[in-house]
Structure 1
Amino acid sequence: MSELRKDPVSKRWVIFAPERSKRPSDYRKDKDEEVKVDLEEESGKCPFCEGKEKTSGDELLAYEKIPGRKPNSPGWWVRVLENKYPALQDESEIGKKGVGIYDKMNGVGHHEIIVETPKHHKCISDLEYNEVEKVIWAYRDRYMTLQEDARMKYVLIFKNYGKDAGASLEHSHSQLIATPVVPKRVEEEISGARHYYEFRDRCVFCDIVTQELADKERIVEENDNFIAFVFFAGRFPYETWILPKKHSSNFENITKKEVMNLAVILKNVLKRIKGALGDPAYNFVIHTLPINGEGQHYYHWHIEIMPKLTKVAGFEWGSGFYINPELPEKAAKILRDTNIE
Structure 2
Amino acid sequence: MLNFSDHPHTRLNILTGEKVLVSPHRSKRPWQGQVEDLVLEQRPAYDPECYLCPGNKRADGTVNPDYTDSFVFVNDFSALLQDTPNEQYNDSDLLQAESERGICKVIAFSPRHDLTLPEMDQEAIEAVVDLWQQEFADLAKNEWIKYIQIFENKGAIMGCSNPHPHGQIWAQGNVPVEVQKEDAQQKNYFVKHGKSLLSAYLDLELRKQERIIVDNAHFVALVPFWAAWPYETLIVSKRHVSNIAEFTAEEKADLAKTLQELTIRYDNIFSTSFPYSAGMHQASVNNGDQSHWHWHMHFYPPLLRSATVKKFMVGYEMMANPQRDITPEFAADLLKKQSTIHYKTRQDG
Pairwise TM-score range, normalised by the shorter structure: 0.7 to 0.9
1:249-304 CA-to-partner distances (Å, cap 9, x unmatched) read 12221111111000000111011011113332101010000013355332201000
Separation (CA, whole Å) in 2 of partners of 1:149 and 1:264: 31
- Corresponding residue SS for 2:151: strand
Amino acid corresponding to residue 246 of structure 2 in structure 1: N
Gaps (5+ residues) in structure 2?
1-35, 304-310, 342-349
Give yes or no for contact 2:189–2:196 (8 Å, CA) kept in 1: yes
Q: Map 1:84-103; keep pairs closer than 5 Å.
A: 84-101=76-93, 102-103=95-96
- The structure 1 segments of at least 4 consecutive aligned residues displaced by more than 6 Å after TM superposition are none
Of the three residues 138, 159, 168, the one matched with 1:166 is 159
Q: 1:51 aligns with which of 33, 51, 55?
A: 55
In structure 2, what residue type is equivalent to 1:138?
Answer: L
**What TM-score do you get using the length of structure 1 for normalisation?**
0.80
Q: 1:263 aligns with which of 252, 256, 260?
A: 256
Q: 2:206 aligns with which of 207, 213, 225?
A: 213
User: Which has the higher relative contact order, 1 or 2, with Cα contacts under 8 A spaced 6 or more apart?
Assistant: 2
1:332 alignment partner in structure 2 = 332
1:305 matched to 2:308? The reply is no
In 1: Cα distance, 2:191 partner to 2:58 partner: 52
SS in 1 for 2:229: coil
The answer to whether the Cα contact below 8 Å between 1:249 and 1:289 also exists between their aligned partners in 2 is yes
Matches within 5 A, 1:62-141: 72-101=64-93, 102-141=95-134
Backbone CA RMSD of aligned residues: 2.7
Over 3 Å counting, the alpha-carbon distance change for 1:152 and 1:75 in structure 2 is closer
Aligned residues between the structures: 297
Q: CA deviation at 1:334?
A: 1.3
| Cα offset, 1:83, TM superposition | 1.1
Matched position secondary structure for 1:77: coil
Displacement of 1:317: 1.8
AA aligned to 2:65 is: S
Aligned residue for 1:279? 273
Against the structure 1 CA distance between its residues 169 and 153, is the aligned structure 2 distance closer, same or farther, given a 3 Å change threshold?
A: same
Distance in 1, Cα, partners of 2:214 & 2:223: 10
- Determine if contact 1:94/1:151 at 8 Å carries over to the other structure: no
Distance 1:51 1:153 in 2: 34
Distance 1:260 1:58 in 2: 36
How far 1:338 sits from its partner (Å)?
A: 0.7
TM (norm. structure 2) is: 0.78
- Counterparts of 1:195 and 1:318 in 2: how far apart (Å)? 28
Distance 2:47 2:243 in 1: 42
Q: Aligned partners of 2:299 and 2:171: how far apart in 1? A: 20
Which residue, 228, 232, 235 being the options, matches 1:235? 228
The structure 2 residue matched to 1:197, chosen from 183, 190, 206, is: 190
C-alpha displacement of 1:226:
0.4
Change (3 A) 1:156 1:220: same
Q: Give secondary structure in 2 for the equivalent of 1:142.
A: helix
Cα deviation, residue 42, structure 1: 10
> C-alpha deviations, 1:109-153, integer Å up to 9, x for none?
111110000100101101010100111111111111111222211
AA aligned opposite 2:254: N
Name the SS of the counterpart of 1:305 in structure 2: strand
Greater Cα offset, 115-124 or 271-280: 271-280
The CA distance in 2 between the partners of 1:213 and 1:145, in whole Å, is 35
CA distance in 2, matches of 1:294, 1:107: 20
